[in-house]
Amino acid sequence: MFKSLFLIPIFIFLLQCENDSVSEDCSAVTCYVETLHLQLIDQNSNENLLENDTYIQDDIVITDNNSNTIPFSIVSSSFGEAIQILLTSTRTELLNYTFTIKNKTTFNSTISIEKTGEGNFCCGIQKEVTSITVTGIENEINLSKKTIMVFLE
Over residues 75-91, mean pLDDT: 86
Pair type for strands 147-152 and 34-42? parallel
The model's pTM: 0.75
Query: How sure is the predictor about 120, in pLDDT bands with cuts at 50, 70 and 90?
Result: confident
Query: How sure is the predictor about 132, in pLDDT bands with cuts at 50, 70 and 90?
Result: very high
Over residues 140-153, mean pLDDT: 93
Q: Is the pLDDT of residue 3 over 80?
A: no
Over residues 98-103, mean pLDDT: 93
**Cα atoms found within 13 Å of the Cα of residue 93, Cβ hemisphere only:** 10
Q: Is the pLDDT of residue 119 over 80?
A: no
Residue 44, Cβ neighbours under 10 Å: how many?
A: 9
SS3 58: helix
Q: Which helix (H) or strand (E) holds 4?
A: helix 2-15
d(CA 77, CA 37) in angstroms, rounded, equals 9
Least confident of 21-25, 40-44, 49-53, 128-132: 21-25
Q: Is the pLDDT of residue 20 over 50?
A: no
d(CA 31, CA 90) in angstroms, rounded, equals 13
